[in-house]
Structure 1
Amino acid sequence: MFRRVLALLLLIFATGVVSTGSAGAAVGSTELTAGWALRSATGLADTGATISQVGYGTAGWQPVTLPSTVLAGLVAGGVYQNVYFGQNLKNVPDLTGQDWWFRGEFTAAASAPGQVYWLRFKGLSYRAQIWLNGVQLDANAVGTFANHEYNVTSVINPGAANALAIKVTPPAHDCKDLSTCTVDWNPEVPDMNAGLWNSTFLDTTGPVALRDPYVKTTLSGTAADLTVYVDAINATNAPVTTTVSGTITKTGQTTLSFSQNVTLNAGERKEVAFAPIHVTNPVLWWPYQFGSPELYRLTVSAGTSDTKAIDFGIRQFTDYRTTVNGTSFAGYKVNGQPILLRGGGYVWDMMQRWDAKTNAAHIAYVKGMGLNTIRLEGTLGNEELYDLADRNGIMIMPGFVCCSAWENDSSWTAEQEQVAQKSLESQMRALRQHAATFMWNYGSDQPPTAAHLAAYKNVATALHWQNPTLDNVATWANPDAGMKMDGPYVWEPPVLWWDQSRAGSAFGTTGEEGTESPPPLESLERFLAPADQWPIGATFNYHAGKPRSVFDNITPFTDGLNKRYGIATSAADYSRKSELQNYENTRSFFEAWSAKQHVQSFGSIFWMLNNAWPSVHWNLYDYYFKPGGGYFGARKATEPVHISYDYFTRNVHVVNSTLTARSGLTATAAVYNLPDLTQKYSTSVPVTAPANAGTQVLTIPALTGLSGTYLIRLQLKDAAGAKVSDNVYWYSTSPDTLSNKSNWYRSTPKNYANLTGLNGLATANVTATATRTVSGTQETVTITLANPAGLAFFVRPEITAGNGGREVVPVSYTDNYVTFWPGESTTITAVYQTADLGGQQPYLRVRGYNVPTFSIPVS
């Protein structure tokens, strides 16, 4: 059964805000999740008027829990099994050629004087007929991203059972509707994500309901002016006058209060705006690595009729333009400080399934990699993710998706024009209140037509959108876009990011670019049968990009691996080498963008952050949250204070990503031959690292007498000799070079670096200890690794569930894939949830490029 709204006291749920006076209507919101059933409309003669009657039989229907797409519901019920394994998704038939019924029953709150009932749908896809208790509420609720709301007071059965029936028509394949679209990063979903994919609510209010409270911030010096907006709706057939009042609160700060009398005509919805509230010395919201993401609480009420509350941040994002290499690029400031965008493109599960734990893991991994931005290209509506971003200082870069009906807008129908504007209005309302939202992209690869762009901007103006916007994020389609999308989208050698003669290198601002990223073997084993793991074949490639696209294989990555590290001989050998290649490439990517921040580079979005399903293409961490080479390469590159190597010029940079300058530092660069670790060069220089800047500190000269594969070790220490940053590179006397052949997704390599010298390293016998502490539901393991002799290269400690079990995920490490010299040791901590051990004892597994795998119990 649905969660019931029986009386006022029972309305105090985590899913809703409750407030009421001493008498009258109950005020609250309940998400309708349980007790739903699903079936194809094909062969069912009954109409919505019949199906939405209380007691209608659903024998033979598929039970589902909302939110759910059609396919997600069928998979949850076992109709289709293990669809992410191998090529099993091909066994699911096309589900878009028929309509689908969702049906459920719930008990509504008892009637009270002035009680009003509302149904709200946050996500219907693509169009729906909606029936409640035999009455049709809407014959054509259309638009995946358009919210739909109904006053159902005259239809509801107060204090009794009610029945909802929703007939869903799926979106068209090939992204022909204004729906979700995965473009080319995985196969199309057989149902195109049809269904009730986002939350469905039953709300109760008095005669006046409040919607979409919002605080717009304007900063001036050490003060802020806060303008509060909220919509008020008169649910009655007569004029109503009420007092709309509110407070802004934060622990330790003075409470700010405001109110005004509001008169609403019958059925009227009106925006209520309050005079700006002046705040001196506010506590500001800052993004990650810049400060604390402080939040205030806004509470607004319409007498005892309705109450709404949101968290918001006092902060201000502004944009500016700088011309680099002849192109105007957008840069961004937060609270007056320029900030380098370092982020990835987020995608939800292919079936649009998420939960609180998954959302929290994504945000934790973004912070774990030292990133500050998530791009949402059409993946809009996961509002819990927005809340988490607010609380963790992760900026959100939302906008519509490319390569679909969203950008083929010159041929829109009148209905599509209405859907597009309503979709923007719905999503901007949800995003505008969030401190984390710093901009909006009206288009991705291409800008909308002039008429549609003007209509979009009118929507933003009406909503008092306080953040910058861009018409699109690709200068190839619009020279004034402010961001470039010139690729690459396949593997490139690390030197590309530093060579500013290349379109995809680290200059300006990029809306997206990235490379193939095969996950570690342990993850491959979860979605590929042994015969499909090696040699690479059709099933492996099915988990690359969209079939029959240029990304339906990862040949560029594999060519680079074989030619640089030596031909892979097995799935295990391929994995150990791919981890190296992922690490060095991703590290170099973020290092290059950071080195000249706010001068020549202003922000980058790595394509992609994660995967919608188990994939071998485009991610910084895989579908299962197993952190691999890309994750740890990004984490190394984005240390708060970091020393890095420029593959193109041999310059060494120190980057300070904080707002506090660092002085008294010493940078050391040393070069070593392999396999004997003979030092061929060493130098040290004093360093002062200005806040929020990159600084070139030295150049490693061209050296002779180097081994074919050699190591570069960069270290940064403070005045007391403590390590601030320690960074090891492996490179070659025959470096990577690029040809003049390029296209929109690739610059073709000409020569590949010879890194095979790593294969001749002597075995290193690392020792390890591991102890844990338990605090509530969380465990922290302290790992100490020691290397008595030789070079221990690319060493990977993992906490596993049991001896020989899988790595516990999600997990956070302070460092990983470490390299250390003879006699050195290092301490790493790992944090995870006890429940993720699955009842097993934790073990520490240690492996490395030249370190035999071993495991010890965690004491």
Structure 2
Amino acid sequence: MRKTVTASTEDPSNPAVNATDGNPNSRWSSEYLDNQWIQVDLGSPQSFDRVVVVWEAAYPKTYVIQVSDDGSAWTDVKAVDNTPDPLKISVNGVRVFCRGGNWGWDELLRRMPAARMDAAVRMHRDMNFTMIRNWVASSNREEFFASCDEHGLLVWNDFPNAWAMDPPDHQAYNDVARDTVLRYRIHPSVVVWCGANEGNPPAAIDTGMRDAVQSQAPGVLYQNNSAGGIITGGGPYGWIEPERYFSPSTYGSGSFGFHTEIGMPVVSTAESTRNMVGDQPEWPIEGAWYYHDWSTKGNQAPQNYQAAIEARLETAGGLDDFTRKAQFVNYENTRAMFEAWNANLWKDASGLMLWMSHPAWHSTVWQTYDYDFDVNGTYYGARKGCEPLHVQADSVNWQVIAVNHTPQGLKGAVVTARVIGLDGRQIGPVRRTTVDVASSATTPAFTAGWTDSLPDFHLLRLGLEDGKGRVLSENTYWRYRDTADMKALNSAKPVKVTTSVGRVTGSGTRRELTATVTNRGSAVAAMVRLALLDDRSGERVLPTLYGDNYLWLLPGESRTVTLSWPADALASGRPALRVEGYNVPRTVSR
């Protein structure tokens, strides 16, 4: 003990000398980089047959023990793979795939009445999310925790620390930490307390926070780092090709794991974007867009997102054109994020949190719905990828699997796959197989890969039905050999979609109706979007939840969708439903 120690790097709060000081409560901390080392000078030749390394939460994945006679030439004597298993959370004995998003400030100026809080958390539940991360304790409102309790969402709650910041008064900080845990421990939704965002907190407050959780909320997990050990993080934060989400090499950890941050730019609807820019020019992208996070120098790299949209569907002619094209990329990428974790569920994937899911103001990046509470392709890509019962295919090998995130096993389910051209005609036979899927598990069905005879652009429609033929999940992929092949949509045959709107029902604070949309044309209707309006004013009714949206309808196909909204969001009591698609003219039905 107390031998001379040197290291590749060290945190000033946790220097290398801590490794041999004999104090079990102190430690050495290096930079968060590969190939870090610590060297102990024994002073003279020593004989030993083992080396014991005690490392908090086993953050390094591999260790190599080396010896040297002179401190210059080193010989490997032992290598150990210590890759930690990712965090897995169970509720009532059932393993839960933690899928959700990071929540920053409730609202830019902290204006978050109970109704708005309920709407935001309700939308997370509607996206089939199971967890919200309260990033660096951004929300301290009782309404946030109460809403998560009510809507059945788990909460990962950060303490207000990040990147190993060292508060000047450790005792004061630890006292606040204890009081914070005491205040919120009544909420069953809180299942994780995290000591710091993307870093190890200094030892003095790390110990204080750990003690606070263990003493005030025994049994609840304290995790000191949001991106270390049994947790991974670090993006990507900008647009990437969808298939890259399925490769572990995309992530800094080289694994899927329990990943706390992933995201990309998200441009919402034209109406919300006009509210964002106010009296400034809406197009081209300039001015107000830059104030609202369209930063080409940031991690979001929106120029790559814009290039991806234009490579697929050509340069936009204006705001309306750009926002409708953006929804293809929003939907496709967000669905792929969650489906990549589904594809590796419990092998090397246990949680995925979007960066971010809730916007504090009008933004062009990192959101699932917008500040107006309108929905977009990201919302429905997430909702689809997070379905409790789901059928999917990865965009690399096109392995089709059935996914069951429910507590009950699924027996005798039928998985189908159909290939369809833009003209609505089926190409080849329907693939079909029967599967059993255990609770909180996946089962492979078959592959539905490309063949040389397939059109360069077509649809792959997957289905999952129970043994009685009831549809449990339907998932439509638009597939293209090259990104430019998506431009076939620009010349797709226009089709007419009709809508039948049911009567308004409901009591108390919520209202709902059902609507049936039908493709009356002879070709596919692409990305059909529903929007509830106030028939008196023509304004959007927000927030409105839709049982599905951004639909692909085959010729003659109908889809019935349930809509719900707060009663006071439609004071006139007179709803109208706007329906439009990429090749579907806008109509309004009453």
Instruction: Please indicate the TM-score interval, normalised by the length of the shorter structure.
Output: 0.7 to 0.9
User: Match of 1:362, SS?
Assistant: helix
Q: Secondary structure at the match of 1:755?
A: helix
The match for 2:367 among 598, 602, 619 is 619
Correspondences of 1:206-245 after superposition (within 5 Å):
none
Q: Give 1:709 deviation, angstroms.
A: 1.8
Counterpart AA for 2:525: A
Q: Mapping of 1:27-66 within 5 angstroms?
A: none
AA partner of residue 122 (structure 2): A
Q: Distance in 1 between matches of 2:59 and 2:438?
A: 22
Q: Is the partner of 2:516 in helix, strand or coil?
A: strand
**Residues 157-306 of structure 1: pairs in structure 2 closer than 5 A:** none
Residue in 2 that maps onto 1:847: 580
Contact between 1:632 and 1:815, CA under 8 Å: does it hold in 2? yes
Quick check: 1:524 aligned with 2:277? no
Distance between the aligned counterparts of 1:390 and 1:322, measured in 2? 35
Deviation digits for residues 70-106 of structure 1 (CA, Å, limit 9, x no counterpart) = xxxxxxxxxxxxxxxxxxxxxxxxxxxxxxxxxxxxx
Offset at 1:754?
Answer: 3.6
CA distance in 2, matches of 1:654, 1:321: 33
Q: Quick one: distance in 1 between partners of 2:126 and 2:476? A: 20
Checking the alignment, whether the CA contact within 8 Å between 2:237 and 2:300 is kept in structure 1 is no
Scaled by the length of structure 1, the TM-score of the pair is 0.57
Q: 1:804 to 1:496 in 2, by over 3 A?
A: farther
Give the deviation of 1:500 after TM superposition: 2.4
In the alignment, does 2:198 pair up with 1:439?
no
Deviation at 1:834, TM superposition (A): 2.9
Instruction: Give the counterpart of 2:147 among 388, 405, 419.
Output: 388
Question: Which blocks of at least 5 consecutive residues in structure 2 are unaligned?
Answer: 1-56, 62-80
Q: Which residue, 230, 237, 256 being the options, matches 1:507?
A: 256
CA contact (8 A) 2:239 2:301 kept: no
Taking the TM superposition and a 5 Å limit, the aligned residue runs for 1:547-626 are 550-551=298-299, 554-626=302-374
Per-residue Cα deviation, 1:716-736 (whole angstroms, up to 9, x for no partner) = 1222222211111112112xx
The aligned residue for residue 525 of structure 2 is 792
Alpha-carbon separation, structure 1, partners of 2:208 and 2:290: 42
For the residue of structure 2 that corresponds to 1:329, the secondary structure is coil
Residue 770 of structure 1 aligns with which residue?
501
Partner of residue 9, structure 2: none
Contact 1:341 1:373 in 2 (8 A): yes
Could you say if the C-alpha distance between residues 814 and 642 of structure 1 is closer, same or farther in structure 2, counting changes exceeding 3 Å?
A: same
> Using the alignment, how far apart are the partners of 2:103 and 2:280 within structure 1?
31
Which is bigger in relative contact order (C-alpha 8 A, separation at least 6)?
2
Q: Deviations over 1:586-606 (max 9, x none)?
A: 111112212332222100111
Separation in structure 1 between the aligned mates of residue 574 and residue 172 of structure 2, nearest angstrom: 53
**Maintained 8 Å contact 2:276/2:288:** no
The amino acid across from 1:810 in the alignment is P
Q: Is contact 1:322–1:330 with CA below 8 Å preserved after alignment?
A: no
Name the CA distance, whole Å, in 2 between partners of 1:365 and 1:503: 28
Query: Aligned in 2, Cα 1:534/1:402: closer, same or farther, shift over 3 Å?
Result: farther
2:210·2:222 contact (CA, 8 Å) conserved in 1? Answer: no
Q: Give the whole-Å Cα distance in 2 for the aligned partners of 1:801 and 1:620.
A: 23
- Measure, in 2, the Cα distance between the counterparts of 1:672 and 1:803: 40
Task: Name the structure with the higher strand share.
Answer: 1
Task: Report Cα offsets for 1:487-546 as digits up to 9, x if no partner.
Answer: 10111222121122321687211111111111111111112147532100132121016x
Amino acid in the other structure paired with 2:487: T
Q: Is the 2:60–2:83 contact (alpha carbons within 8 Å) kept by the matching residues of 1? A: no
Q: Give the greater-gyration-radius structure (CA).
A: 1
Look up the equivalent residue of 1:349 and give its one-letter code.
E
Q: CA RMSD in A?
A: 2.5
> Could you tell me which residue of structure 1 aligns to residue 171 of structure 2?
418
Change (3 A) 1:833 1:451: closer
The aligned counterpart of 1:158 is none
Tell whether 2:125 aligns with 1:367: yes
Q: What letter is aligned with 1:729? A: Y
Please say if residues 261 and 355 of structure 2, whose CA atoms lie closer than 8 Å, have aligned partners that are also in contact.
yes
TM-score computed with the length of structure 2 as normaliser: 0.82
Cα distance change, pair 530–795 in 1 and its aligned pair in 2 (3 A): farther
Q: Are 1:702 and 2:450 an aligned pair?
A: yes
Q: Is the CA contact 1:663–1:688 (under 8 Å) kept in the aligned structure 2?
A: yes
Count, aligned residues: 510
Shift of 1:841: 2.3
The answer for the alignment partner of 1:755 in structure 2 is 486
In the other structure, the counterpart of 1:133 is none
Q: Give deviations 1:448-495, integer Å, cap 9, x for gaps.
A: 1223212222233332432011110113xxxx2x11113101112221
Aligned match of 1:429: 182
Structure 2 Cα separation of the partners of residues 433 and 449 of structure 1: 28
Tell me if the contact between 1:321 and 1:330 (Cα under 8 Å) persists in the aligned partners. Answer: no
Distance 1:485 1:724 in 2: 32
Report if the CA contact (8 A) 1:375-1:397 is conserved: yes
Q: Structure 1 or 2: larger helix share?
A: 2
The residue aligned with 2:562 is 829
1:631 Cα shift? 1.0
Unpaired stretches in structure 1, ≥5 consecutive residues:
1-318, 735-751
Identify if the C-alpha distance between structure 1 residues 803 and 847 changes in structure 2 by more than 3 Å, giving closer, same or farther.
Answer: farther
Once the two structures are superposed, residues 565-622 of structure 1 have per-residue CA deviations (whole angstroms, 9 ceiling, x without a partner) of: 2211110110001111111111111122123322221001111111111111101111
For residues 129 and 285 of structure 2, the distance between their equivalents in structure 1, rounded to whole angstroms, comes to 32
Matched with 2:215 is 462
2:90 to 328, 333, 336: 333
CA distance in 1, matches of 2:318, 2:421: 28
* CA displacement at 1:401 relative to structure 2: 4.8
User: Displacement, 1:422?
Assistant: 2.7
* Paired-residue identity, %: 28
Which of 522, 528, 552 matches 1:819? 552
Cα distance, 1:718–1:325 mapped onto 2, change above 3 Å: farther
- State whether structure 2 residue 179 is matched by structure 1 residue 408: no
User: How far is the alpha carbon of 1:711 from its aligned partner?
Assistant: 1.2
Q: Quick one: which amino acid aligns to residue 182 of structure 2? A: R
1:372 is displaced (CA, Å) by: 0.7
Offset at residue 551 of structure 1 (A): 4.5
Instruction: Indicate how the Cα distance of structure 1 residues 506 and 566 shifts in structure 2: closer, same or farther if over 3 A, else same.
Output: farther
8 Å Cα contact 1:544-1:551 kept in structure 2: no
Deviation larger for 466-475 or 834-843: 834-843
Partner of 2:538: 805
Is it true that 1:665 corresponds to 2:413 in the alignment?
yes
Amino acid of the structure 2 residue aligned with 1:778: R
Distance 1:635-1:325 versus aligned 2 partners, 3 A rule: farther
Contact preservation (8 Å) 2:238, 2:301: no
8 Å CA contact retained: 2:457, 2:478: yes
- What is the Cα deviation at residue 375 of structure 1? 0.4
Work out whether residues 246 and 394 of structure 2, in 8 Å CA contact, stay in contact via their aligned partners in 1: yes
Q: Which amino acid aligns with 1:430?
A: R
Q: Using the alignment, how far apart are the partners of 1:799 and 1:590 within structure 2?
A: 28
User: What displacement does 1:402 show?
Assistant: 5.8
1:531 and 1:553 map into 2 onto residues whose CA distance is 23
Whole-Å Cα distance in 2 between the matches of residues 548 and 325 of structure 1?
39
The answer to whether the 8 A contact 1:674-1:707 is kept is no
The 3-state SS of whatever aligns with 2:445 is: strand
1: CA distance, partners of 2:462 / 2:369: 26
Residues 693 and 626 of structure 1, relative CA distance in 2, 3 Å threshold = same
Q: Deviations over 1:33-83 (max 9, x none)?
A: xxxxxxxxxxxxxxxxxxxxxxxxxxxxxxxxxxxxxxxxxxxxxxxxxxx
State whether residues 769 and 784 of structure 1, in contact with CA within 8 Å, keep that contact through their aligned partners in structure 2: yes
Separation of aligned partners in 2, 1:782 and 1:354: 30
